Amino acid sequence: MTWLELGDDAPFDAWTLPYGVFSTAGEAPRVGVAVGSWVLDLAPLAGAELFAQPTLNPFLAAGRPAWDAVRGRLLELVTEEAHRTSVEPHLVPAADVRPHLPFEVADYVDFYASQTHAENVGRLFRPDNPALPAAWRHLPIGYHGRAGTVVVSGTPVVRPSGLRRGGGADAAPAFGPSLKLDIEAEAGFVVGTPSPLGSRVPVGAFEDHVFGMVLVNDWSARDIQSFEYVPLGPFLGKSFATSVSPWVVPLAALAHARVSPPPRSPEPAAYLADAEPWGLDVSLEVEWNGTVVSRPPVRELYWTAAQQLAHLTVNGASLRTGDLYASGTVSGPRPGGSGCFLELTWNGAEPITLADGSARAFLEDGDTVTIRATAPGPAGARLRLGEVTGTVHPTP
Amino acid sequence: MTWLELGDDAPFDAWTLPYGVFSTAGEAPRVGVAVGSWVLDLAPLAGAELFAQPTLNPFLAAGRPAWDAVRGRLLELVTEEAHRTSVEPHLVPAADVRPHLPFEVADYVDFYASQTHAENVGRLFRPDNPALPAAWRHLPIGYHGRAGTVVVSGTPVVRPSGLRRGGGADAAPAFGPSLKLDIEAEAGFVVGTPSPLGSRVPVGAFEDHVFGMVLVNDWSARDIQSFEYVPLGPFLGKSFATSVSPWVVPLAALAHARVSPPPRSPEPAAYLADAEPWGLDVSLEVEWNGTVVSRPPVRELYWTAAQQLAHLTVNGASLRTGDLYASGTVSGPRPGGSGCFLELTWNGAEPITLADGSARAFLEDGDTVTIRATAPGPAGARLRLGEVTGTVHPTP
């Protein structure tokens, strides 16, 4: 219960309390917490050292005890009427703020944790091979993406150019703007506490290192990707833009969303054994020019974020504050759960119709995609976890 | 001609003038220039704003005009006897300094530019397919590596653990320390001037954006890599450590090393057309426990660093100050030119014998690998371009 008047349409309730970086006209970017239709300016209430900052990184680096202490204090501030007079002056209408990239991205890793997605991509890209790569059930397959092109929700996405396969078996490749611009709806995880080179982070230490979750749209040019990706993986087909939601949802806010992950067979190696269930009952919703076209279920992912973190570091790779790693496209096994248009339209073979009657196979210039998410909260509530949006701009 | 007494064995002459970050006992890291057997402390001579800094990034961000002006001034200082009294107090014996990672790495990209290497790896990893990937002659294949584990020469390399293929066709994978720890001898390029998201850097703008070159050892665990890399590319097999030389050689120092790259067939796409020849006659030398085992020739690389930069940005990806991109393993077409042990020992099938009589297929704990480089300089001189070294430590 909160003394704030939130309304049913408020973007966030008084439990989620996600962190971001915002600015108002003429003022420097600083850390805020989104609640209702406001942004709570954190520095005056919780200290300038961590919060009068243009990124969350100092707070991320402060570690789990600091994260828990600040969240505990925030829950008091928004639930106890006695704090109303001290809090109200620092509530800025969300409509008046500009959100910024919430943290400086150190390294960006993208996984491939949806079995449905991996099988579908296998069928489409490698029809002569088994749908699932040989190692897929043994380890969370992943790769490094471009940290420097991670952008905040709302940043225009310029259609990338590149080489794609030419027509005919021996034809020269064709160069030009991508003809198969796609999205990937994903859940992303933000590392706060670093780990030293040469050490490992076990599955059970997930909560000590990971601060929270963002929504990710890993824009993908399928024609560029499918021409370039053998043998070193996706490169220019992905590196032009990756959008993230501006408000980082702390793990603590997802306590009621934790579920057991799907059964794994064969049993994974010991370093990947679940210490605690870190499946997450987060439901994504993909909206294309105003039409909801799919609802990808994060709970169906084969590998959890805790397992992905253990895998990422099992070779001794260090973590840095600001590392971002994402789930890979979230596609569920049932119809209506595709996290990318490659699957939704079966590589363009089965176009879909939007609410305005227009047909789509891949993204056209001017198209806007918004990914939202919800999850179970306390007392049966359904929490809103924010959104990530982007509009396609033509190649210059 | 310089007034410094360099001696024949000096690590650097008075022309190369590479930049790095160093510290002396009890003093903070700061920018220096290596000359002879000294390090020139740059802040007192060229300004604290750019050089009393723990990384080269502020100087890298200053751009080509600043790079040229400082180099011009340095050449005056070391060649004109009149400057001896003002310069000598700031020469620190190289033996007394500790080198640091010279720049904060933004994104790290590794290419695959040696045709010999790509063909050999194809034969070893994908014996049932054509040796060269389909796209290889059409574009510089590359991928993103882990920026957070780029370390300075001399940093211990802890043997990584991971999953590798098990024995027998249906066997479970095996977990443990890598049994096939390898090196990759590469040339790396350091970006100074950034470029905005949504724009391209043409081949001809290479010198405006790239500050200089480092030597790179991209340590690789071949058994981990070959199990994990389909379809998203190398991940844990590479992400545990990438060593770079501490002294960044400015492009201007390589003016006499520029050569025409090898002929390409088919003709690359227009965005990859050579504006100027950026082949580089840099000779690497790989020393394994004191035995020189190969001399990889950078001049044989199919794709130049200028083409790689144009490719990296053709999709609109932005550049940041501190971006590092490397050539990929430099392996020449003639015997004795292998840039990794996978090729040198043909995946362990043909072990080599070191000077102490011991045989090697891959790296053993305690082994040290040092990569050095030379290039043509002014007046027929052979420039030393520094070294990158590392010793393998056992898995904890």
Q: What is the pLDDT of residues B67-77, one digit of tens each?
A: 999 999 999 99
Report which DSSP code applies to B208.
Answer: H
Q: Which residues of B touch A147 (CB under 8 A)?
A: 106-107, 147
CATH number of B108-393: 3.40.50.720, 3.90.850.10, 3.40.50.300, 3.40.50.12500? 3.90.850.10
Are the C-beta atoms of residues A15 and A93 closer than 8 Å to each other? Answer: no
CA distance A43 to B349: 63
Q: What is the mean pLDDT of residues B231-253?
A: 98
Q: What is the pLDDT of residues B323-336, one digit of tens each?
A: 999 999 999 999 99
Percent of chain B clearing pLDDT 90 (strictly above): 95
Q: What is the mean pLDDT of residues B275-304?
A: 97
Q: Say if the Cβ atoms of B236 and A311 lie within 8 Å.
A: yes
Catalytic residues of A: 117
Catalytic residues of B: 117
Q: Which residues of A touch B121 (CB under 8 A)?
A: 231
pLDDT at A125: 87
Is residue A354 less than 8 Å (CB to CB) from chain B?
no
Q: Which residues of A touch B236 (CB under 8 A)?
A: 311-312, 314-315, 317
**DSSP sequence for A164-183:** EPPSSTTPPPEEEE-S-EE-
Are the C-beta atoms of residues A288 and A367 closer than 8 Å to each other? Answer: yes
CA distance B36 to B33: 10
Are the C-beta atoms of residues A240 and A4 closer than 8 Å to each other? Answer: no
Cβ pairs A/B, distance under 8 A: 199
Q: Where are the domains of chain B?
A: 19-100, 108-393
The helix/strand count (H/E) of chain A reads as 10, 26
Per the prediction, chain B carries an average pLDDT of: 97
- Closest partner CB to A239 (pick from B110, B270, B315): B315
Are the C-beta atoms of residues B118 and B338 closer than 8 Å to each other? Answer: no
Q: What is the pLDDT of residues B172-194, one digit of tens each?
A: 999 999 999 999 999 999 999 99
**Ranges of H-type helices in B196-302:** 206-209, 222-228
Q: Does the predicted interface ipTM exceed a cut of 0.95?
A: yes
Is residue B366 less than 8 Å (CB to CB) from chain A?
no
Q: What is the mean pLDDT of residues A367-378?
A: 98
Q: Which residues of A touch B235 (CB under 8 A)?
A: 141-144
Q: Which residue has the tokens 């990239």?
A: A101
Mutation target for A interface from B191, B243, B315, B324: give the one with most A CBs within 10 A. B315
Least confident of A86-95, B160-169, B206-215, B313-322: B160-169
Residue A175 predicted with pLDDT over 90: yes
Residue A79 predicted with pLDDT over 90: yes
Residue B193, token pair as written in the block? 């001037």
Mutation target for B interface from A126, A136, A144: give the one with most B CBs within 10 A. A144
- Closest partner CB to B135 (pick from A142, A160, A228): A228
Helix (H) or strand (E) holding A119: helix A115-125
Are the C-beta atoms of residues A246 and A98 closer than 8 Å to each other? Answer: no
Q: Say if the Cβ atoms of B197 and A317 lie within 8 Å.
A: no
* A-contacting residues in B 15-54 (Cβ below 8 Å): none
CA A21 to mean position of chain CA atoms = 17
Assign A153 to helix, strand or coil.
Answer: coil
pLDDT at A273: 97
CA distance to partner chain A, nearest, from residue B310 (Å): 11
Q: What are phi and psi of A9, to 5 degrees?
A: -95, 5
Q: What is the mean pLDDT of residues B266-281?
A: 95
Please tell me the number of Cα atoms within 13 Å of B240 on its side-chain side.
31
Same fold, A19-100 and A108-393: no
Report which DSSP code applies to B314.
Answer: T
Q: Which residues of A touch B199 (CB under 8 A)?
A: 396
Residue type, B317: A
Give the residue from chain B lying closest to A106, CA to CA.
B148
CATH class in words for B19-100 = mainly beta
